[in-house]
Amino acid sequence: MAGDQLKVLNALDVAKTQWYHFTAIIIAGMGFFTDAYDLFCISLVTKLLGRIYYHVPGAQKPGTLPPNVAAAVNGVAFCGTLAGQLFFGWLGDKLGRKKVYGMTLMVMVLCSVASGLSFGDKPKSVMTTLCFFRFWLGFGIGGDYPLSATIMSEYANKKTRGAFVSAVFAMQGFGIMAGGIFAIIISSAFEAKFPAPAYKDDALASTVPQADFVWRIILMVGAIPAAMTYYSRSKMPETARYTALVAKDAKQAASDMSRVLQVEIEAEQEKVEEISNKKSKAFSLFSKEFMKRHGLHLLGTTSTWFLLDIAFYSQNLFQKDIFSAIGWIPPAQTMNAIQEVFKIARAQTLIALCSTVPGYWFTVAFIDVIGRFAIQMMGFFFMTVFMFALAIPYNHWTHKENRIGFVIMYSLTFFFANFGPNATTFVVPAEIFPARFRSTCHGISAASGKLGAMVGAFGFLYLAQSPDKNKTDAGYPPGIGVRNSLLVLGVVNFLGILFTFLVPESKGKSLEEMSGENEDDENTTTSDSRTVPIV
């Protein structure tokens, strides 16, 4: 295999870890930092939006967003992300990774700023504007998934590729944490400057007019890290794998990587043309030949990401109960509007610090040691165990003296999501498909995940409502209850274990070895589902 491989690609595979690897992680990772900040900061300000725009005079509790508005504000970015993953994933294979990479960032910068602007001051016009720009913000964020993963995997050496790609993804944890920390700073500053009574003491005065600036500033600041990265992205050379294997320009690939690696690399135009001639009758995406060689792998990456995100995003169901149970967020009527932003931000930051960030970096440390398959299996296994452990004795956990145990089990569930399938489902699709389909297939897998996120975040919001219609949240129909919802999530995680068997192990192998792009068509090998057919 090594003899058939282009020297420029072999040079990347065997390169020692050096400065350009870390530069690529920072450039790609800052995109994910921004993605996480933008996607998760909305949860910090939804309560504030309810108080400002949906205040009901004389009500016992502060105003909240109606269910359909809450679903739209929280979910519209997911819809945009799904569309962006498919579109920019496809475009990254058509035009090249670098050309498209800057586009996604500009969309994110413009829409982050625009999210904090409103046409009019009436609830309907403010929410419509917010949803419109959050959709297009999500569209830009969606493009970052396939492009960042593909660029990092194509730049990395084969020994530490898993750690590099998962380090890019792990920047999400810092983005979530940064959103919380910034919201704490802004809310503290506004609270000091514009003090207000609690809602129960004076409902109208508890939301000061200046609170309207708080949510706008929090949303708009998401543009800054993205804008700071734009210049660096524009200076990154196109990946050698795209230039050589897709654009078929060996000279440019060798020139770019000679500059990056600071070694002399021979341009092998004849070898590129030879590979190209072998592939002159190459199969297309979703052709019979593609499905034969990569169909099960694509089913594996899409299904596991879909199932993981159902469970991962359903955490929204239990966070408010957990935060209230351990006293992180007191009853809404005991706080003013800005104090509530502070308490929610503090809770989210602590969760990120204690559970989210460590899980991501455990994956970075171990992915090239024990492999993607083992981490994904272990993650889904423990998520299944903990979900059933929460669900079966659910009544036991609802007693006040047992709430801390519930919090510990809950935290472990999401630790093993991050030290598990939440990271590996991002890494593997960038490693196992041919270069000409790599970005597209990663985009399809990621879009499947976002579909699961919508099911998790909104399907279960309705499903987890009490079967007793007198006990449901305002505006929601009866559901199956939290206990039964947890049981369903346990089954979802167990299905994740089963579908993981369709995902091949790519630890220590070159991208061409995984996809077999340098091999003759006859050299297709067959083996168990964890060994990749050579294309």
Cα–Cα distance, 1 to 8 (Å, whole number)? 14
Asked if residue 170 lies in contact with residue 423, where contact means CB atoms within 8 angstroms, the answer is yes
Instruction: State whether residue 446 is helix, strand or coil.
Output: helix
Phi, psi of 503 (to 5 degrees): -95, 125
Distance in angstroms (rounded) separating the CA atoms of residues 303 and 306 = 5
* DSSP secondary structure, 108-139, as one string: HHHHHHHHT--SSSSHHHHHHHHHHHHHHHHH
Q: What are phi and psi of 427, to 5 degrees?
A: -75, -50
Q: What residues does each domain of the chain span?
A: 13-269+285-517
Distance CA 66, CA 344 (A): 19
CA distance 412 to 400: 20
pLDDT tens for the 535 residues of the chain, in order = 445 678 888 888 888 888 888 988 998 898 889 989 988 888 889 989 999 999 988 888 898 888 888 888 888 999 999 999 999 999 999 999 988 988 999 999 999 999 988 777 889 999 999 999 999 999 999 999 999 999 999 989 889 999 999 999 999 989 999 999 999 999 999 999 999 999 999 989 999 999 999 999 999 999 998 898 888 888 888 888 888 888 888 888 888 888 888 788 877 777 777 766 665 457 788 888 889 889 999 999 999 999 999 988 887 666 665 676 566 788 888 999 999 999 989 988 888 888 788 899 999 999 999 999 999 999 999 999 999 998 888 888 777 777 778 778 888 888 899 999 999 999 999 999 998 999 999 999 999 999 999 888 888 777 877 788 877 766 777 888 878 888 999 999 999 999 999 999 999 888 888 886 655 444 443 334 444 333 3
Cα–Cα–Cα angle for 467, 472, 478, rounded to 5 degrees: 40
- The answer to whether 235 touches 260, Cβ cutoff 8 Å, is no
Q: Quick one: three-class SS letters along 366-429?
A: HHHHHCHHHHHHHHHHHHHHHHHHHHCCHHHHHCHHHHHHHHHHHHHHHHHHHCCHHHHHHHHH
C-alpha 453: how far from chain center: 10
**The tokens of 50 are what?**
């309810």
Helices 435-454, 123-155: axis angle to 10 degrees equals: 140
Q: Who contacts 348 (Cβ-Cβ below 8 Å, separation ≥6)?
A: 40, 43, 44, 176, 179, 180
What is the H or E stretch that residue 34 is in? helix 19-40
Which residues have CB under 8 Å from 449's CB, separation 6+?
305, 306, 308, 309, 425
- How many Å apart are CA 250 and CA 272, to the nearest integer? 6
On the CB side of 499, CA atoms within 13 Å amount to 22
**φ/ψ bin of 122: left (φ > 0), alpha (ψ from -120 to 50), beta (otherwise):** beta
Provide the b/e sequence for 434-459 (b: ≥16 CB within 10 Å). Answer: bbbbbbbbbbbbbbbbbbbbbbbbbb
Q: Residue 37 in contact with residue 179, Cβ under 8 Å?
A: yes
CA angle 353, 358, 361 (to 5 degrees): 135
Query: Considering the domain 13-269+285-517, what is its CATH architecture?
Result: Up-down Bundle (1.20)
The model's pTM is 0.89
